[in-house]
Amino acid sequence: MNNLSASVLSTEEGKAKYDQAMLKVLSDKQVLAWILKRFVSEYEHLQLEEIETKYIEPETILVSKVGVNRDSSVIKGLSEKDSSQKEGTVYYDIVFQAYYPGNEQEKIGLYINLEAQADYYPGYPLEMRGIYYGARRLSSQLKQINRETNYGCLQKVYSIWLCVGNVPACESDTVTLYDISKNDIIGSVKRNKDLYDLINVVIIRLNDDAVPEDGTMKMLQTLFSNQMSKQEKLQTLEQLGMRMNDSLEKGVDGSMNLSDYVELKGIKKGIEQGRLEGRLEGQREGRLEGRLEGQQEGLQTGMKTGIRNMIELCQDMGTTEADAQSQIIMRFHIPEDEAIKYIKTFWKSE
């Protein structure tokens, strides 16, 4: 196996291992309780211990088969995947059911979908994917649609996205809620928000270089930091008030350096294309140089495509030229003067 093949293989293996460790620690009930209390309004008035022990249904916590395997794939009608004949199958990272006390202390159900996103620029808006996942989770509650269908049984869905990869400095340490609101066009009517606010999307953005003031953001940043040692992470988590247990310690221990595997699709495609072109050229010419040259050419083409895509996406999202420049330097490991040239080439003038 040559160095290029080994690099591609180690990248994929590293990603799988990081995903497993990430989902393992995120599925810990204590971590889930912190997330619910801070980012889900229904729990903001409750104590962490109360959320963890009373309102999270532990037997419903399901993790994608891509990550941590569970003994049972379907519990209480929940599944880590939604299948649709026309739309295909969606695998959720983590999905579980929780309850919160209503006006008369009755338990009101919620479906929570938690997604760990290692690449902040996947090539499409994360907001749209979050809404789609929420909609699929909502529609999956109704097994059959006919005249007898009771839509009043639908329970609210939260799709929470934890972005821990290449979040730009201008957006780091931020959290955004997207919900359904009522706007009266002519006249006004009173309706309980519970009747229509059925899909909420929360996007959490973390960056290792930021210094969060919020305790929950600090906790999440610590869990997935690639700059802190295991001992530093455990110490910081204890200082924040978290209880250390086997699940948390193993999750922290299994976390890998994010930079070991996070690559843009453009680079990966360039490597694969270069490897194929190089092999064909080498077979035709009978020279090793043909393969190496093809690999290098493919890599350069893929990198250029990836940089252009990132610059265009940054501009579409309202990122400044300076932040876009910083992103391509960080992601592609190129010098500043080269990054400036790419900005001048691909940045669209107003």
Mean pLDDT within 268-274:
52
**Model confidence over 80-98: pLDDT tens digits?**
555 554 556 667 888 888 9
Count of C-beta atoms within a 10 Å radius of residue 193: 12
pLDDT of 5 reads: 44
Least confident of 69-78, 121-130, 301-310: 69-78
- Tokens for 262? 């996070």
Q: Is 287 a residue whose pLDDT tops 60?
A: no
Find the distance separating the first CA and the last CA of the chain, reported in whole Å.
48
Amino acid at position 314, single letter = C
User: Which has the higher per-residue pLDDT, 281 or 132?
Assistant: 132
Q: How confident is the model at residue 191 (pLDDT cuts 50, 70, 90)?
A: very high
Answer yes or no: are the C-beta atoms of 62 and 79 closer than 8 Å. Answer: yes
Instruction: Provide the mean pLDDT of the chain.
Output: 77
pLDDT of 177 reads: 97
Mean pLDDT within 30-48:
94
pLDDT of 95 reads: 87
Q: What is the rounded CA–CA span in Å between residue 197 and residue 178?
A: 10
Residue 214: left if φ>0, alpha if ψ -120 to 50, beta else—which one?
beta
Answer yes or no: are the C-beta atoms of 60 and 49 closer than 8 Å. Answer: no
Answer yes or no: are the C-beta atoms of 162 and 119 closer than 8 Å. Answer: no
Q: String of b and e for 71-85 (b: at least 16 CB within 10 Å)?
A: eeeebeebebbbeee
- Give the β-pairing of 156-163 and 107-117: parallel
Count of C-beta atoms within a 10 Å radius of residue 173: 19
Residue indicated by tokens 């026309």? 86
DSSP state of 334: -
Backbone phi, psi, residue 261, to 5°: -135, -15
Q: How confident is the model at residue 126 (pLDDT cuts 50, 70, 90)?
A: very high
**Model confidence over 135-164: pLDDT tens digits?**
988 988 887 788 888 888 899 999 999 998
pLDDT of 204 reads: 96
In sequence order, what are the residues at sequence separation of 6 or more whose Cβ sits closer than 8 angstroms to the Cβ of residue 69?
A: 63
Q: How confident is the model at residue 64 (pLDDT cuts 50, 70, 90)?
A: confident
